[in-house]
Amino acid sequence: MENSHEILLVALIATFAVIHLSRAEDQEGFISLDCGLPPSEASPYIEPDTGLWYSSDSGFIQSGKIGKIDASLPKTLKSYVTLRYFPDGIRNCYNLSVKQGTNYLMRVTALYGNYDALNITPKYDLYVGPNYWVTIDLENRISGQSEEIIYIPRSNSLDLCLVKTGTTTPMITSVELRPLANDLYITESGSLKSLKRYFLTSSDTILSYPNDVNDRIWEPKFDPEWTQISTTLEANNSNGFLVPRNVLKTAAIPANATARFNITEELDFPDDQIYLYLHFSEVQSLPISESREFDIFWNGQRQFDKTISPEYLKTTTIYSTTPVTCKGGVCNLELIRTTNSTLPPLLNAIELYAVVEFPQLETNENDVVAIRKIKAIYGLNRIAWQGDPCVPQKFLWDNLNCNSTDISTPPSITYLNLSSSGLEGTIAAEIQNLTHLEKLDLSNNNLTGDVPEFLANMKYLMLINLSKNNLIGFIPQALLDREKEGLQLFVDGEHRCLSGLCVTVTEKKIPVKTVAFVSSATVMAIIVVLVLIFLFKKKKSSNSEVLQPLPIKLGANVTSTNISEISIEVKKKKFTYSEVMEITKNLARPLGEGGFGVVYHGDINGSQQVAVKLLSESSTQGYKEFKAEVELLMRVHHVNLVSLVGYCDERGHLALVYEYMSNGDLKHHLSGKHDSSVLKWSTRLQIAMDAALGLEYLHIGCRPPMVHRDVKSTNILLDERFSAKLADFGLSRSVQLGGEYHVPTVVAGTPGYLDPDVNRGDITGIMDPNLHGDYNSHSAWRALELAMLCANPSSEKRPNMFQVVIELKECLTSEMSMKGNGQDMYSQSSPKVSMSYDTKDLPSAR
């Protein structure tokens, strides 16, 4: 029963169903970032004055420091208390997940608040992707500066960049995105920068969310030459623009009933092209003998062919379909009553927008995904590697070059120089997705494994420098053939062999069944997802249904090797047994016990904490597993895999020395014992994401690929920040993609657990009760359906680990903003999910 409970909670974890709640249906798709809010504080939270959910911005930017406004200043919104400032680098960028082609209202707020006690207000530029948007200048702006733009992203990723233009330090207080209906605020070209949005009232109340479900901010405006008329009734505002009903309750008319209604605005930039939106609703019930009818004039010219006669308690919106200009930057709006009208014109609200052109296209989306993946694989935390890699040219990423001469064509990356960058592991497969790459320099690193054949398939590649690495094996013949055609190839060692390990073998055709690895290797991912996919919940054994692991068959078994013939070649430190005893203070502090033996705490020279795993005489595992783990960990390096510090192999004494993970294993925190606190949803999601990334590296980043075969909560270790790393690789197996044999990868760990409440469509019956309902059912269902998809008996319908990671990244990104996305915490209804599976073979979730 306890095992079932454990598997289930790891389950919900790795489904990554970890989600924060959204309690307002009309906040769906909102992104509300409280910049500088430490992730350790309550995040997301509800802004008391508006009811909006705000999250920390820490998951959306890799740079910057946290500040707080001067506490002596007047009380402001909670979301304006903290800020993020950027003393380093020229361009610092937020990366946001959005929906391509969706109309967004994007608002950025900067409130200096003397956070640094220097009284030096900043001035800097804001960019949307590679295009300049607006300048933030906080001089004489005690209340801060907010800028809005209505923008349609050209991809599913949006960069918002702060660019230093002088000696002051850029800073930002909040970032907000609100999806709008796609048929509103349409331009002939460009985006719309908000200039004015106000409603005509003598009140001093500012209206925003929740009065405006799109969170537009409406400021009051009134003139002595006007008279206010109003109603206590609510108008029908369902014409698409959804103007707040409180806005439509008041209107202004000229104080002199025979005069024209007049509004004048001056532009900061006289040449701006303007789009005008006017909102009308009759607030008076007119007798049959009265009428209100008028025409609209802009700078003395009649606009719109239609004469306006507002309907009682119904909204009419008149707007520009083409931009207008204002001579000398002075804009004059006039409403003039017709000769048939007995009443003066009225106006309820007005919006003015200026056209902002964003001509520079972003870098080819596939290139952007690939280079960011390469950046993540190798841990390249370069401050200049933010925003668009190629454009604008002055912010081109270091050690890259692009073909970016034409702004109307998406640039592509043509040159990548990662020489002397401390790269470890294998040559990343994502490099092949840089399809226009001409020069690749990976020299002077610690790269291991063989030279991948995919390099020969990159048709534009004319120079490859792989020298001064630790690569082994033969250079692929296809690459040598390319060399004859003019490719410049720089490697160490002999021309065909990179190390003395190469031997002459008879070439054989790869068996057809080897191809099955592409899909069948993902079954390991499936098992992992199942182990990590459902929430932990204690069940009676009579209610348990065990989902049997799916076997993975890759070919014939490997011929057994005599242990005496096995040698371990490692570059990690080799400890003597006496040194192991000294490190562990004679095995004074055991940390846990597994099939291999007991794990003890230790420290090296009093400066480095380690965990030491000793092979016991009664261990069910042996030298083979010991050797496998050492040899695997000596050639794999990833932030989500426990690293090997050293080993001991002395007269029968076998020990592995790992980095120390201070928060122990995941099982400890999921068991509900040991007084451990209940892991928050956000923590569980991050743990799941970490585990998935580690597995993805084993499956895709390693050559030959590795299958862990024993993923379970005791083999997921947590550091002081609860970052997760996979451990215990003794049962792992490599899969030869091009060799003459294959190894079995049958699951050697714990089978997955399928809760019967899935079959009944009861999501609340599956979730961990210790969470007390603190989850969003939308994400729970999404996670569950990902799990079901991974368990599909048909390999063609199962995602590979890379696809699982992509889906989890979406879950993680949406989780950061989903506190306000409108799914009730107790709802058991499911939104439309894009994934599908064979309902004939799997129980339906609903």
Task: Give residue 812's pLDDT band: very low, low, confident or very high (50, 70, 90).
Answer: low
Q: Of 795 and 259, which is predicted with more confidence?
A: 259
pLDDT at 211 over 90: yes
Is 745 in a helix, a strand, or coil? coil
- Over range 807-832, report the average pLDDT: 49
Q: Of 243 and 683, which is predicted with more confidence?
A: 243
Helix 2-14 crosses helix 681-696 at what angle (to 10 degrees)?
Answer: 80
Q: Are 251 and 281 in contact (CB under 8 A)?
A: yes
Angle, alpha carbons 209-276-223 (nearest 5°): 75
3-state helix, strand, coil in the chain (%, to 5): 20, 25, 50
CA distances from 430 to 179, 375, 819 (A): 32, 10, 33
Report the share of the chain in percent with pLDDT over 90. Answer: 51
Q: Of 380 and 846, which is predicted with more confidence?
A: 380
Report the share of the chain in percent with pLDDT over 70. Answer: 74
- Residue 634 in tokens: 């000596």
pLDDT at 838 over 60: no
* Per-residue pLDDT, 650: 79
Beta strands (DSSP E) in 660-749 are 706-707, 716-718, 724-726, 733-734
* Per-residue pLDDT, 721: 80
Q: Of 11 and 432, which is predicted with more confidence?
A: 432
Length of the chain: 846
Q: Is 613 assigned to a binding site?
A: yes
Sheet of 82-85: strands edge to edge?
Answer: 65-68, 82-85, 171-172
**Residue 505 CB neighbour total at 10 angstroms:** 9
Cα 142 from Cα 335, distance rounded (Å): 36
248 membership: H or E segment, kind and range: helix 245-248
What stretch(es) of the chain map to CATH 1.10.510.10? 530-755
Residue with token string 């005509």: 200
Angle, alpha carbons 646-648-651 (nearest 5°): 165
Round to the nearest angstrom and report the end-to-end CA distance of the chain. 26
688 membership: H or E segment, kind and range: helix 681-696
- Residue 339 in tokens: 């000769």
Q: Of 501 and 557, which is predicted with more confidence?
A: 501
Considering only 39-43, 313-317, 387-391, 553-557, which range has the smallest mean pLDDT?
Answer: 553-557
* Per-residue pLDDT, 286: 96
Q: List pLDDT tens digits, range 577-601.
A: 889 999 999 888 988 877 677 889 9
Amino acid at 135: T
Sequence-separated (6 or more) residues with CB below 8 Å from residue 721 = none
Q: Of 726 and 202, which is predicted with more confidence?
A: 202
Considering only 120-124, 318-322, 543-547, which range has the smallest mean pLDDT?
Answer: 543-547
In CATH, what class is 530-755? mainly alpha
pLDDT at 22 over 50: no
pLDDT at 282 over 90: yes
| Architecture of the structural domain at 192-356 | Sandwich (2.60)
**Residue 295 CB neighbour total at 10 angstroms:** 18
Catalytic residue selected from 690, 710, 757, 768: 710
Cα 374 from Cα 445, distance rounded (Å): 15
Amino acid at 696: E
- Over range 826-835, report the average pLDDT: 35
450 is catalytic: no
Nearest to 726 by CA among 737, 742, 713, 745: 713
* Per-residue pLDDT, 415: 96
pLDDT at 531 over 60: no
Considering only 202-216, 682-696, 697-711, which range has the smallest mean pLDDT?
Answer: 697-711
Helix 801-817 crosses helix 681-696 at what angle (to 10 degrees)?
Answer: 160
Is 670 in a helix, a strand, or coil? helix
Task: Give residue 246's pLDDT band: very low, low, confident or very high (50, 70, 90).
Answer: very high
- Sign of the torsion formed by the C-alpha atoms of 631, 635, 640 and 646: positive
- Residue 329 in tokens: 């930057």
Q: List pLDDT tens digits, range 753-794.
A: 555 558 556 667 777 778 777 776 666 666 777 777 777 777
Cα 71 from Cα 226, distance rounded (Å): 41
Chain CA centroid to CA 511, Å? 39
**Residue 539 CB neighbour total at 10 angstroms:** 18
- Sign of the torsion formed by the C-alpha atoms of 618, 620, 624 and 625: negative
* Per-residue pLDDT, 639: 80
* Per-residue pLDDT, 614: 86
* Per-residue pLDDT, 765: 73
Longest distance between any two alpha carbons in the chain, whole Å? 110
Task: Give residue 212's pLDDT band: very low, low, confident or very high (50, 70, 90).
Answer: very high
Nearest to 250 by CA among 319, 318, 316, 313: 313
* Per-residue pLDDT, 287: 95
Is 339 in a helix, a strand, or coil? coil
Could you please report the per-residue DSSP string of 797-812? GS--HHHHHHHHHHHH
Q: Are 97 and 807 in contact (CB under 8 A)?
A: no
Sequence-separated (6 or more) residues with CB below 8 Å from residue 305 = none
Q: Of 808 and 569, which is predicted with more confidence?
A: 808
Q: Are 656 and 610 in contact (CB under 8 A)?
A: no
Over the chain, what is the mean pLDDT? 80
Beta-sheet pairing, 590-593 with 598-604: antiparallel
Q: List pLDDT tens digits, range 150-172.
A: 999 999 999 999 999 999 999 99
Phi-psi region of 425 (alpha: psi -120 to 50; beta: other; left: phi over 0): left
Q: List pLDDT tens digits, range 324-360.
A: 999 999 999 999 999 999 999 999 999 999 999 999 9
Q: Of 182 and 776, which is predicted with more confidence?
A: 182
pLDDT at 553 over 50: no
Task: Give residue 41's pLDDT band: very low, low, confident or very high (50, 70, 90).
Answer: confident
Question: Of the ranges 457-466, 619-628, 668-677, 836-845, which is most confident?
Answer: 457-466
Sequence-separated (6 or more) residues with CB below 8 Å from residue 737 = 510, 514, 517, 703, 704, 705
Residue 693 dihedral angles phi and psi, to the nearest 5°:
-65, -40
CA distances from 759 to 349, 558, 575, 844 (A): 53, 40, 53, 6
Q: Of 705 and 525, which is predicted with more confidence?
A: 705
* Per-residue pLDDT, 842: 33
- Residue 536 in tokens: 């932990």
Is 599 in a helix, a strand, or coil? strand
What stretch(es) of the chain map to CATH 2.60.120? 192-356
* Per-residue pLDDT, 814: 59
Nearest to 777 by CA among 732, 710, 711, 822: 822
Cα 327 from Cα 480, distance rounded (Å): 68
